[in-house]
Structure 1
Amino acid sequence: MTDETTPPLYLRGRFAPVPDEHSAAGLTVRGSLPPELDGRYLRNGPNPLPGEDKGHWFAGPGMLHGIRLSDGRAEWYRNRWVRTRELEGHPFIRPDLSVDLAATPANTHVIRHAGIVLALCEVGLPYWVTPSLKTVGPYDFFGRLTTAMTAHPKEDPVTGELHLFGTGFTPPYLTYHRVTAEGDLLDSRPIEVPGPTMMHDFAITEHHIVWLDLPVVFDPELAGGGGMPYRWDDAYGARLGVMSRTPGSTDVRWYDVDPCYVFHVGNAHEDVHGRILLDAVRYDPDAFRRSWSDIGGPTSPGRPAGAREPLHSGAPSVLHRWILDPATGQVTETQLNDRAAEFPTHNETLTGRFHRYPYTVSDDGITKHDLARHTAHTHETPSSRYAGEAVFVPAADSAGEDEGWLLSLVSDDHGAAGELLVLDARELAVQAVVELPLPVPAGFHGSWLPEPS
């Protein structure tokens, strides 16, 4: 429970925002950084301004944290707010009720495509930032992007194309976009869905797009009061959709699934029988409501953000697999193990293709799952230390899928300085720890940006 003097969960402990921007050079390294790690690790996450409470963990303005690694050294650390129109005080919804797609927090992910680094948040346009974390401005692919952009685009490792989507509060509620390897947005197609939902992620395979149309819906009665205007709606239903990647296709075959929610997809692929296998972190209805309430979201109509309600105990979010069979129209649902899981990652050279090793995080640490042997192994973090999303960096000329390293920003519940944890991905052994000069709040997603060759 919280009271008037206790900040909500998403503003204290390991979630506590930092009050300003810092730069530091010549960071201390414990262990041995692989010399092959020549680049920048960047991570995004919400960081409200001092004294500010946006009413939900997801709503704070974005702050990027960056660490430059080179020649076995940690050359610098810096953190910078993404200088969006929202941070400058411009409203997302204008007085005439139109939407300013550039007035977003840009707080969820950071990627690089075609040489451009983009800070992402699903309700609006991405923001172009430099590798040194200076904000350039909103980026709309030279006027071609007229919808919001997901925080979870998928880059095909074979074609180099970037697949993405945008959601809206009015029709079209869902629009698919395809960007070439050179950064040109060539293809935009509205996809028919019943209404506006919190579609946070999706998947690609070699030949298909996989949609997640799930029952967390936009509620206009909750808009304008701070926080996130989304809630669970049993009446909406839950389904997965499969759409061909053939240019121009908008036909989707839908598969009804048990009620659930998915924030994050692990990966998807097609098997030799033409079935689509989708791995993702699944929340059952009770688990979603508990998690949503903890981070500030309303759990039923008319309840204020952050309000609690009695809920049945249920399984935490777990790694789950759906098998969609186009030949029969049937879907099979399987829980892969009973470990709590979030922020699934994998070797992205295998995005959309078969892979064996996903990596997830929980309060206990970082877990490596072996989908062939049906086993899982966890690198445990100390009780007050919490590992963030583990980004896989493949070793050069690696022969095995898991040859490389996992990079994770570690936050502390007692306000101690953060760390960049570097694990050998094969054994989950600590390769190195980079000591950071200040606490780093728990955040969302990041990327490893190798230096151009």
Structure 2
Amino acid sequence: MPTRHQNSTSHLLSSGYRPVTEEVTVLSPPVRGELPSELDGTFLRIGPNALGGHDPARHHSFRGDAMVHGLRLRGGRAEWYRNRWVRTDRAARALGELPTPGPRHGASDNTNAGLVRHAGRTLALADGGALPTRLGERLETLDRVDFDGTLPGGFSAHPVLDPLTQEMHAVAYAPGRPGVDLLTLDASGRVRRRENITVKGTPMMHAFSLTDRHALLYDLPVTYSGRAAAAGSDVPYAWDDGHGARLGVLPRDGGDADVRWAELAPCYVFHPVNAYEQGRYTVVDVIRHERVFDRDPLHPSESSPTLWRWIVDRSGATVAEHPLSEAVQEFPRIDDRYAGSPYRYAFTVGLRPGRGAALAGPALLRHDLVTGRADRHDFGPGREGGEAVFVPRHGAAPEADGWLLSLVHDTATGRGELVVLDTADFTGPPLATVPLPVRVPHGLHAQWTAGG
């Protein structure tokens, strides 16, 4: 089992974590090496970047005004880099701009946690009741959306796209709302189905998993804390030993009465890897934290996250749990063409042991889940990269054959650069890098949007 440790937040004060204070545009940044001409699209990364300062000793790590970073790649060139604050109500006021149009649900519109491209829209996302924010091709904030009036509440930071149907699935929760909403959006971007699912209390259900037949719900012991809310926390959730942990399995077309719950050892999952069916079993791979937001209510820092597999016996509603890797890691990605189906490869960010709440690390890991082999790409001394995105070499390429893109912070220069790896030479030097004349602080999640 991963061991608990007392985390120091000193690394959160380093240049890689400090917010930037300006929006910048860099046209035609140079390229070292050779960018594949097939990479035609925009690499995006989002995360909290506080307007007015952020103190890791006093402020929650999920707090901070949403900022998106992007690099447009086309024809073997980098056309531009931009960073832009998402125009939340607070950011628009601070920047002296008019409010962003669109409906409002919930207390917050700070969509700083995730990104998705669906039905022709690029959306910035968050949990806890916030509506998605639509972004333009140059990262400008366009409006808040409720999917043409079909979304009854907030949305999710981690929806799952079905690569076969092009539908988008999500689990939404909000403080004070009973249960969680299991949502299905059709390929045109409208909610076609909503099922309210009963859970114990009000858990932070940050993510879920999806197979071609079932949805997997994580009812885990991080729950709404009235005490934290009364103290003014922007993220009023805390570890609850009395809540327990369980995994809910329900058919994709099922409802609340169809959920079968199976008990788990207490833990928390921010980021599943993938899930798929195997006869009467459902295989669920996750990045597992033994405990979060207990002794350290501001940062997910109390245990070392590792890669685990849960095998669910649906006939008896039981789960067999075992680790797949002892390496400390987070921010998993796969070849998205295999989402919800049997797969072989997973990519993760290798973190430094003892550094809880880390958003980046010195290496990327590639796990072969058939052989158990793990390969490592080191970024080099003083360099740390964040979540990578995978882009297949072409539509019919074998699984995980293509390129990995990650934003890297170099402590020697204090600047950022986009690193492009060829998975055919994963442990070798980058195929190309795009050095930037500015610092790009570590963020949360990355996304690749093909084309213009």
Write the mapping of 1:316-335 to structure 2, written as runs, cut at 5 A: 316-335=304-323
The runs of 5 or more residues in structure 1 that have no matched partner are 1-5, 91-98, 300-310
* Aligned mates of 1:347, 1:196 — CA distance in 2: 32
Deviation at 1:168, TM superposition (A): 1.8
TM-score by length of 2: 0.88
Amino acid at match of 1:408: S
Cα RMSD for the two superposed structures: 2.2
Kept after mapping to 2: 8 A contact 1:213/1:238 = yes
**Matching residue within 340, 344, 353 for 1:352:** 340
**Matching residue within 112, 118, 125 for 1:113:** 118
Instruction: Mark the CA change 1:133 to 1:356 in structure 2 (over 3 Å): closer, same or farther.
Output: same
**More displaced stretch, 228-237 vs 46-55:** 46-55
Kept after mapping to 1: 8 A contact 2:115/2:123 = yes
Deviation at 1:414, TM superposition (A): 5.7
Write the mapping of 1:64-103 to structure 2, written as runs, cut at 5 A: 64-88=68-92, 100-101=105-106, 103=108
The runs of 5 or more residues in structure 2 that have no matched partner are 1-7, 95-103, 351-360
Instruction: Mark the CA change 1:378 to 1:323 in structure 2 (over 3 Å): closer, same or farther.
Output: same
Deviation at 1:101, TM superposition (A): 2.7
Percent identity reads 40
**Matching residue within 228, 242, 260 for 1:235:** 242
* 1:200 match: secondary structure: coil
Instruction: Mark the CA change 1:14 to 1:250 in structure 2 (over 3 Å): closer, same or farther.
Output: farther
Instruction: Mark the CA change 1:393 to 1:105 in structure 2 (over 3 Å): closer, same or farther.
Output: same
Kept after mapping to 1: 8 A contact 2:171/2:205 = no
**More displaced stretch, 188-197 vs 407-416:** 407-416
Deviation at 1:415, TM superposition (A): 6.3
**More displaced stretch, 22-31 vs 170-179:** 170-179
Report the equivalent of 1:172.
178
Kept after mapping to 2: 8 A contact 1:84/1:138 = no
Deviation at 1:383, TM superposition (A): 3.2
Amino acid at match of 1:47: N
* 1:360-401 CA distance string (max 9 Å, x none): 002231000000110101101223211100111111144310
Kept after mapping to 2: 8 A contact 1:84/1:137 = no
TM-score by length of 1: 0.88
* 1:426 match: secondary structure: helix
Deviation at 1:52, TM superposition (A): 4.6
Report the equivalent of 1:187.
193
Report the equivalent of 1:96.
none
Write the mapping of 1:291-330 to structure 2, written as runs, cut at 5 A: 293=296, 296-297=298-299, 316-330=304-318
Instruction: Mark the CA change 1:21 to 1:268 in structure 2 (over 3 Å): closer, same or farther.
Output: same
**Matching residue within 264, 274, 299 for 1:267:** 274
Kept after mapping to 2: 8 A contact 1:390/1:407 = yes
* 1:388-443 CA distance string (max 9 Å, x none): 00111111144310211111111244661101110112331311111112111110
Report the equivalent of 1:31.
33
* Aligned mates of 1:233, 1:133 — CA distance in 2: 39
Residue 380 of structure 1 pairs with residue 378 of structure 2: yes
Instruction: Mark the CA change 1:125 to 1:336 in structure 2 (over 3 Å): closer, same or farther.
Output: same
Kept after mapping to 1: 8 A contact 2:124/2:132 = yes
Report the equivalent of 2:325.
337
* Aligned mates of 2:447, 2:397 — CA distance in 1: 22
Deviation at 1:62, TM superposition (A): 0.6
Kept after mapping to 2: 8 A contact 1:11/1:17 = no
* 1:87 match: secondary structure: helix
Kept after mapping to 2: 8 A contact 1:111/1:446 = no
Kept after mapping to 2: 8 A contact 1:230/1:298 = no
Report the equivalent of 1:303.
none
Report the equivalent of 2:100.
none
Report the equivalent of 1:442.
442
**Matching residue within 11, 15, 18 for 1:16:** 18
Instruction: List structure 1 runs of 4+ shifted beyond 4 angstroms.
Output: 6-9, 247-250
Deviation at 1:171, TM superposition (A): 3.2
**Matching residue within 58, 63, 72 for 2:67:** 63
Kept after mapping to 1: 8 A contact 2:46/2:114 = yes
Amino acid at match of 2:381: S
* Aligned mates of 2:412, 2:248 — CA distance in 1: 43
Write the mapping of 1:132-143 to structure 2, written as runs, cut at 5 A: 132-143=138-149
* Aligned mates of 2:249, 2:289 — CA distance in 1: 21
* Aligned mates of 1:24, 1:395 — CA distance in 2: 27
Instruction: Mark the CA change 1:319 to 1:13 in structure 2 (over 3 Å): closer, same or farther.
Output: same
**Matching residue within 265, 278, 281 for 2:284:** 278
* Aligned mates of 1:40, 1:250 — CA distance in 2: 42
* Aligned mates of 2:235, 2:136 — CA distance in 1: 29
Kept after mapping to 2: 8 A contact 1:13/1:415 = no
Deviation at 1:351, TM superposition (A): 0.4
Instruction: Mark the CA change 1:43 to 1:250 in structure 2 (over 3 Å): closer, same or farther.
Output: farther
* 1:172 match: secondary structure: coil
Amino acid at match of 2:344: R
* Aligned mates of 1:181, 1:167 — CA distance in 2: 23
Report the equivalent of 1:213.
219
